[in-house]
């Protein structure tokens, strides 16, 4: 199938005002989309948990990129599992159905790495997605998002609806969410180190024991991958977006402390949860299917993120 031409297409980007969304819009424009034809529904005026809002949002659109999610770190997942399940399922499932009914040409659903089983062979291959239940703390969110893959596959089978499902690994980058109540690991640690420096603290408490591993994808790289998938991928199978580079939380905090010049002691709070033991993706399918590989090195991306936070911390 030939590349999907973005010029003159009307594109709806849910979550388009967010951390990843702004990068996706930037990459869409670089790939030929007209910014004036990109619509970003804001949750204040257009809550897509409401069916009529979904119908209105997709009306007259050619392409839907669904990034919107109710999401956070381990803390939020433990505190609000019901909200995370309901909100993410209802937003996605209604939007897909409304898009199908409205005759939308292409639906791009951005899933989550939390959908993978807790004990998945590393690196995670897309074919292993159904080989077990997700890690308990983020299972409600992960299962809700995974249901959307089933919906897209069945709509393709029955209606010929062109929907694709992309699985980016943990994202980070400038403009990330640094709110300690809901942030993910990199922004949470950067903020922690920054505040320790301001307060003159010599000790830095960090959740868990530092043994879990994670893979991180710079937001600009993720956005490029999403747009490449939008243009060049038209299959039902899910596709990982990542770097294939795995780092332990222990090494991650060491690197952040080095880049931020913090020389205090790290105190591991081993009574706190670790989350999934290992997380690293097999990225071969994205490379084969639409030529995507990450370009920003982890050290460079981390430095950019720290610099942005320090300039905007106030």
Active-site residues, by number, are 141
Q: Which of these, 295, 234, 300, lies nearest to 27 by C-alpha position?
A: 295
- Residue 291, judged by CB atoms within 10 A of its CB (0-12, 13-18, 19+), counts as exposed
Burial 77-112 (b: 16+ CB within 10 A, else e): beebbeebbebbbbbbbbbbbbbbeeebebbbbbbb
Centre a 10 Å sphere on the Cβ of residue 42 and count the other Cβ atoms it contains: 10
Contacts of 271 (CB under 8 A, 6+ apart): none
| Annotated binding residues for substrate | 192, 207, 214
Helix 249-260 crosses helix 298-312 at what angle (to 10 degrees)? Answer: 60
Binding annotation: 15-21, 145, 168-171, 184, 192, 207, 214
**Which residues sit in the known binding site for NADP(+)?**
15-21, 145, 168-171, 184
Q: Which of 204, 198, 238, 224 is nearest to 291 (CA)?
A: 224
């Amino acid at each position: 199938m030939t590349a999907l031409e973005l010029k003159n297409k009307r594109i709806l980007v849910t979550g388009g005002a967010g951390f990843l969304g702004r990068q996706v819009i930037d990459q869409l424009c670089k790939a030929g989309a007209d910014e004036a034809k990109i619509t970003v529904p804001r949750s204040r005026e257009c809550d897509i948990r409401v069916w009529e809002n979904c119908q209105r949002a997709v009306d007259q659109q050619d392409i839907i990129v669904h990034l919107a999610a109710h999401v956070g770190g381990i803390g939020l997942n433990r505190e609000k599992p019901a909200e995370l399940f309901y909100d993410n399922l209802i937003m996605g499932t209604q939007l897909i159905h409304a898009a199908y009914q409205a005759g939308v040409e292409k639906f791009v659903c951005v899933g989550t790495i939390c959908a993978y089983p807790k004990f998945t062979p590393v690196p995670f291959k897309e074919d292993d997605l159904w080989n077990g239940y997700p890690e308990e703390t983020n299972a409600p969110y992960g299962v809700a998002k995974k249901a959307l893959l089933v919906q897209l596959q069945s709509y393709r089978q029955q209606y010929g609806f062109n929907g694709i499902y992309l699985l980016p690994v943990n994202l980070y980058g400038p403009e990330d969410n640094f709110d300690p109540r809901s942030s993910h690991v990199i922004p949470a640690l950067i903020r922690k180190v920054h505040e320790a420096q301001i307060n003159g603290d010599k000790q830095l408490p960090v959740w868990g024991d530092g043994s879990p591993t994670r893979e991180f994808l710079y937001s600009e790289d993720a956005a490029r991958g999403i747009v490449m998938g939008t243009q060049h991928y038209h299959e039902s199978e899910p596709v990982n977006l990542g770097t294939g580079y795995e780092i332990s939380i222990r090494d991650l905090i060491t690197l952040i402390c080095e880049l931020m010049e913090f020389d205090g002691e790290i105190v591991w709070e081993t009574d706190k949860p670790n989350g999934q033991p290992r997380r690293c993706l097999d990225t071969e399918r994205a490379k084969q299917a639409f030529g995507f590989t990450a370009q920003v090195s982890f050290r460079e991306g981390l430095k950019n993120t720290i610099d942005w936070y320090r300039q905007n911390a106030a």
